[in-house]
Structure 1
Amino acid sequence: MGRENNVLHRRSDYLKIIAMVTMAMDHIAFYFLPYSSTSYIIMRMIGRIAFPIFAYFIAMGYKDTSDLNRYILRMGIFALAAQIPFYFFVHKVFYLNVMFTFTLALIMLKLFDKKNYLWFALIFLADFLKMDYGAYGLIIILIFHVFSEEKIKIYVYLLILTFVYSSLNVMQYGAFSIRLYTQVLCVMALPLIYRDFPALRINKYISYLFYPVHIGIIVLIGNLIR
């Protein structure tokens, strides 16, 4: 058991860095680059790796935590702190950052395991409250929770979910969106998630702080150069 926990920590620490770097690339492209540019498309394609990795962390963190309520509270506090720079990043008042999505996901998993069917309502709530990744994000986290190490099922369900999500996106906007082609690349995260990396340890709060801090830096640089 101790060896398995050690492997999980090694995997997680490398994955945290990969997730943070690819997320930063995605956000830099979103904020600075022209929508139709090649650089924008490539960086956002690479950025598709980030969310499934973070979703995996949430599902595994839920299983491993010794105090779920404290975990939920901590995620919620960071979500509130991140909302200020996030507003200046997206310029939308009624649009909540992804840490709210993660907070709601933890509550959803708790209800799911207790067989309280209110968990299903939370999936719709994520879209109603306009959380980043919304229902799509919550379902990805649920897939990791339910199927855990069943890699083939995770691949299949993630592909199906992403195809449905992308198709709905196309229907909503009445035209083919770049998301139809890029979001499916989120499956590239799965070989990384299930790979064992060499040992590397970082403070657990770095990934919490990185989200609001890097968004704040992007916004600050944007204001300085524009």
Structure 2
Amino acid sequence: MILLSITSALSLFILLKNVSGLDGWTIWQLLFINSIWRLAHGLFLLFGQATWTISNKVRMGTMDRFLVRPMNLLSQLFMSEFNISGLGYIVGGFVVFIIAANNMGDFWSIYNIILSFVTILVGFFIEVALFLMVGTLSFWVTETGGINAILLNFLTNFHQYPLSIFSVALQYILTFVIPIAFINYYPSFLILDVDSEITINSNLIYFGPVISILFVVLAILFWMYGLKRYNSTGS
């Protein structure tokens, strides 16, 4: 996972090294937003991986085991799995983060470090909320592996490019439906001196924490709603 994170960033560097910029974003700024997502995704793999496997638990009947224990179900769920590969994403992402930051002149300040840390947490909570919503669908359809794969594909393919290069329709989807843009794109305008314009609304750069909290609350409410309609799959 460490090698995957570093080589992925390297391939992006090779692809764009001879390009003066991508809609106002320098290569180092693009590597920065790449590293932010990898750090957030690494946290997700470490502490939120269980949301990815809810449908497996429903299908195999192991969700019943959680239900009969005198403990909060979500707490049990998040403590049931720990994906060590998340450390690889975090280490690789941190290496890319340091390299990118060192090549962006006046990046290093307490303000930027704190904002970067907050941005990583925002990305982590958004990813957990999204996959918890998908996992909750398994209470109705049992198997949600395909939807998980589609969502992961969105995350891995759209996180590393500025939102402004996509169509307006896709920008709205990645902002308000699947809010990937709040994982690293919008917050980066608070941290980096980006020579680009935000096409939807410039005030969105401040809403990362609000969006993450909103989606977590929606995900928990949807989870509670779905849980009331859960029927064991039997044997």
TM-score band by shorter chain is 0.3 to 0.5
Q: Please say which structure displays the higher CA radius of gyration.
A: 2
Larger fraction in helix? 1
TM-score computed with the length of structure 2 as normaliser: 0.32
